Amino acid sequence: MSPASRYTYLGPEGTFTEAALHTLPEAATRQLTPMVSVPAALDAVRSGEAQAAFVPIENSVEGGVTATLDELASGTPLMIYREVLLPIAFALLVRPGTALGDVKTVTGHPVAQPQVRGWLGANLPDALWESAASNADGARLVQEGRYDAAFAGEFAAATYGLEPLVTDIHDAENAVTRFVLVGRPARPAAPTGADKTSAVFWLRTDHPGALLEVLQEFAARGVNMMRIESRPTGEGIGRYCFSVDCEGHVQDRRVGDVLMGLKRACREVRFLGSYPRADEQAPTLREGTADGDFVAAADWLTRCLDGRG
């Protein structure tokens, strides 16, 4: 298969990432290659060995996936083309025949632990937890007999010859992980009316209110900021860049105007793409911020410049 038909993803097989990837229709026609890390998945895109990479970017319990945020903020530019939201619920996978009373040792990815801690305390208070490299890896270790049970997606059971003893385990209501499909920069897909735009910006100075000024670029155009995450720039404590998502598409005049405002107000801005919102919610538009308002204002300015204001 050619690189153009390959998608990499954060492996191994049998994780939530792979399950989320399969919700994308185009995944059916691509070669899907698991990679050992987010940087590895993205580097395959940068080098041209893959068309796109599918990686987690944010979890409603654990927060931003820093490897993804930092990779998108540095190195050869990449762009986000799709997002997927996957509700996260764990199954307790065991070898066939195991009863709950038999479970003395459990494993799973370290990130899974805080999401099942409550359930463990209530149902298996004496079970010993040890972390595995991934949820899928935990399932494999149960298959091999190293542990009695593993927390993983229910879909992983078949792959490892296990059975889901308990399903739908999640301490937090609405635990969701957000994944993004990342490719090399290209013209963003056309607006759908329910889009999201991502960017990273570096403040020009540390003066009190510098972040405030930048946020006002959004507020002044009524553009709702949906996510803001500070990340260290590596230049020392107190030096951050900010990764943000906002409502709307770069082709929306108000969003383009916000981006130009950021560009002028910041030391650096990196555009990370405009893509359809997974929740398909259209934004509410503040009066005076529709495309027509921007066009009308630009026309009016032209008339003012010509003495026909």
Residues 231-270 that bind a copy of itself (CB under 8 A): 231-232, 234-240, 250-251, 256, 259-261, 263-265, 269-270
Query: Which residue matches tokens 């990779």?
Result: 71
Nearer to a copy of itself, 98 or 231 (CB): 231
In terms of CB distance, is 58 or 148 closer to a copy of itself? 58
Binder among 66, 98, 105, 143 for a copy of itself (CB under 8 A):
66
Residues from 184 through 223 that contact a copy of itself (CB under 8 A): 185-188, 204, 206-209, 211-213, 215-220, 222-223
- Specify the DSSP element, H or E, that contains 190: none
**Six-digit token string for 60:** 């409603």
Pairing mode, strands 163-169 and 90-94? antiparallel
Site string for a copy of itself, 20-59 (x = CB under 8 A): --------------------------------------xx
* The two structure tokens encoding residue 210: 């510098």
**Phi and psi at residue 291, in whole multiples of 5°?**
-55, -40
> Residue 17 contacts by C-beta under 8 Å, 6 or more apart in sequence?
9, 10, 11, 54, 55, 56, 179
Quote the least distance from Cβ 134 to a copy of itself, whole Å: 13
Q: For a copy of itself, give the closer residue by CB, 136 or 157.
A: 136
What's 220's DSSP letter? H
Q: Three-state SS for 158?
A: helix
Q: How many residues bind a copy of itself (CB under 8 A)?
A: 82
* 76 binding a copy of itself? (CB under 8 A): no
Using alpha carbons, select from 148, 156, 151 the residue that is nearest to residue 168.
151
CA–CA distance, 241 with 208 (Å, rounded to integer)? 15
Task: Quote the CA–CA distance of 267 and 12 in Å, as a whole number.
Answer: 38
Q: Which of 20, 79, 103, 106 binds a copy of itself (CB under 8 A)?
A: 79
Region of 119-127, 147-155, 160-168, 230-238 interacting with a copy of itself (CB under 8 A)? 230-238
Helix, strand, coil abundance in the chain, percent, nearest 5: 30, 30, 35
Please state the closest distance from residue 178 (CB atom) to a copy of itself, in A: 6
Complex with a copy of itself: residue 97 or 309, whichever CB lies closer: 309
> How far is 217 from 110, CA to CA, in rounded Å?
38
72 binds a copy of itself (CB under 8 A): no
Strand 105-108 with 128-131, pairing: parallel
Distance in Å, CB of 85 to a copy of itself, minimum: 6
HSE value, Cβ hemisphere, 13 Å, CA-based, for 251: 12
Judged by beta carbon, residue 105 or residue 251, the one nearer a copy of itself is 251
- Within residues 278-307, the interface with a copy of itself by CB under 8 A covers 286-289, 293-294, 296-298, 300-301, 304-307
Q: Least distance (Å) from a copy of itself to the CB of residue 218?
A: 7
Any contact of residue 105 with a copy of itself (CB under 8 A)?
Answer: no
CB of 9 to a copy of itself, least distance (A): 20
Residues 244, 225 contacting (CB under 8 angstroms): yes
